[in-house]
Structure 1
Amino acid sequence: MNKLNPAFTIHVGDIKSGSTPCSDENFQKVKDEFGLFTGPLIYTPGDNEWTDCHREKAGKFDPLERLNKIRELFSGSGQQQFRQEALTLTRQDKLIENSRWAQDGVIFGTFTWSAATTAWNANSASVGEYFTRNAANVEWIKATFAEAKEKNAPAVVMAFQADLFYGAPCC
């Protein structure tokens, strides 16, 4: 990627398989690898790095605790911490892993959507997190398009990790 010298790179999550341990060491290894990018790298978590962490093979972690660890390691402040070249991001207050920025007039946004949230552990915390996340994501998407309209942007690009066609016949 460094040889291609892109303006930025977006990683939409699943930095590990669903059964790879959700350990601090594995997360740190990925963060260190992200640090090899010379250009900006924007990362938004997929489900493997938090909602799947309750699985035995993944270490039987509390998914919400793992999400907080992902936020601590990867979201930081208004700039990604694991790259050498700066890119200022707007972060959503409610879900700091959601970000937005502009490049050549185009508005880019990321959000973390996990339809699997209620499947991993149907307790009140996980169900509550799902509804809170869903509402915050809708708010973030609307705000992203509002900014694009205000700035007369020629396009909006939204990046996230999800199978939008789950259960649908493929190809």
Structure 2
Amino acid sequence: MRRARRFLLLPALLAAACAFAAPKADEPQRFAIIGHSFIAGGEDKLQEAIAATSDASLSFVVLTGIKAASETCADKLYQRRRDLIDDAKRPMIVAPAGSDWTDCKNSAGRSDAIERLARLRELFFAEPRSMGAKKIPLTRQSASPRFRSYAENAHWEVGKVLYSTVNLPSNNNHYVSAAGRNSEYEDRLVATRFWLNRLLAIAKSDHMDAIVLFSEGDIKPFPEPAGLRALLPRAASGHDGFAEPRKLVLAMARKYGGKVLLVDAAGLPKGAKPAIEWKGNVGHLSVGPGVLEVGVATEGGPTFTIKDAATD
């Protein structure tokens, strides 16, 4: 399986070789996550967040969303954000946020979510590599003919850790309480199930030490959150759009045995700082509206440490 993937990715790997040298399997590594740092400051704040993640020692940067819900969904803004992200010094991987597409409406005031998601896929997820001045190769779910629409889901490896983005937007996973079939949500759920099973197979066959999943939405993997996180409101009564993804992720973790770290852009209680909460082999980290660096040491078993990278 791994040999086949390497053959398919050979051109991208060769193109990236001169621009990026990944840490060896037993070397420490660092990556960064940009939460919704730009919500209160628009494009200027996003530029500051990207500048704060320009350290050459960072293996990559994950950006959870490209715009605030209050900003326009126009192609012009999408293209401007693409250019901004592509100018970043480090490899940039985008995990789409609900504010990027689920809240968009057309001129008649009707939902334009599906069309806007399709446009995002064209602009941000069309290539089998990251954005940014330095590129790293990515394997996108769209490489599978059955799921060729789901290019936003991507995986990559650094050392002995498997990383992946999963499109799980924060507004209840875009579950729409309306009559008839909730087609976008249901179809994406099928794609998510396939994707998580694929990640599990890769992690086991390649003997990876850990899996790290990035999404905008918090699937709330623990029934009773600890510490300050317990102060956050739980899902409202009604259908929980994250119930099935949560079940799938926890089942994957049980079958895998290695560490599974879930990273999302959910908000934090006032005064709280990001922290990883572990239960068994499952870890949960909400970044909030900030920039966070994560160190990864795999010798003797994977260990994750976090550090704020303030942009103000």
| TM-score bin (small chain) | 0.7 to 0.9
Aligned to 1:78: 128
Of 68, 83, 90, 1:17 maps to: 68
RMSD: 2.4
> How many Å separate the matches in 2 of 1:61 and 1:72?
19
Aligned to 1:97: 152
Structure with more strand by fraction: 2
**Uncovered stretches (5+) of structure 1, i.e. residues with no partner:** none
Moved more, 24-33 or 100-109: 24-33
User: Aligned-pair distance for 1:123?
Assistant: 6.9
1:116-171 alpha-carbon deviations (Å, 9 max, x no partner): 4233x84767x111101011112111211210111111111010110334842975
Aligned to 2:298: none
User: Aligned-pair distance for 1:55?
Assistant: 8.1
Matches within 5 A, 1:19-168: 19-54=70-105, 62-80=112-130, 82-93=131-142, 94=147, 95-114=150-169, 115-119=172-176, 122=178, 127-165=182-220, 167-168=233-234
User: Aligned-pair distance for 1:54?
Assistant: 2.4
When normalised by structure 2's length, the TM-score is 0.48
User: Aligned-pair distance for 1:12?
Assistant: 2.0
Number of residue-to-residue matches in the alignment = 165
**Uncovered stretches (5+) of structure 2, i.e. residues with no partner:** 1-52, 221-231, 236-267, 270-312
Equivalent AA in structure 2 for residue 155 of structure 1: A
Identify if the C-alpha distance between structure 1 residues 60 and 23 changes in structure 2 by more than 3 Å, giving closer, same or farther. Answer: farther
Question: Does the aligned pair in 1 maintain the 2:56–2:90 contact within 8 Å?
Answer: no
1:48 is paired with a residue whose SS is: helix
When normalised by structure 1's length, the TM-score is 0.85
Question: Does the aligned pair in 2 maintain the 1:106–1:156 contact within 8 Å?
Answer: yes
Identify if the C-alpha distance between structure 1 residues 124 and 77 changes in structure 2 by more than 3 Å, giving closer, same or farther. Answer: farther
| % identity of equivalent residues | 28
1:28 is paired with a residue whose SS is: helix
User: Aligned-pair distance for 1:5?
Assistant: 3.8
> How many Å separate the matches in 1 of 2:196 and 2:113?
24
Structure number with larger C-alpha Rg? 2
1:31 is paired with a residue whose SS is: helix
Question: Does the aligned pair in 1 maintain the 2:162–2:208 contact within 8 Å?
Answer: yes
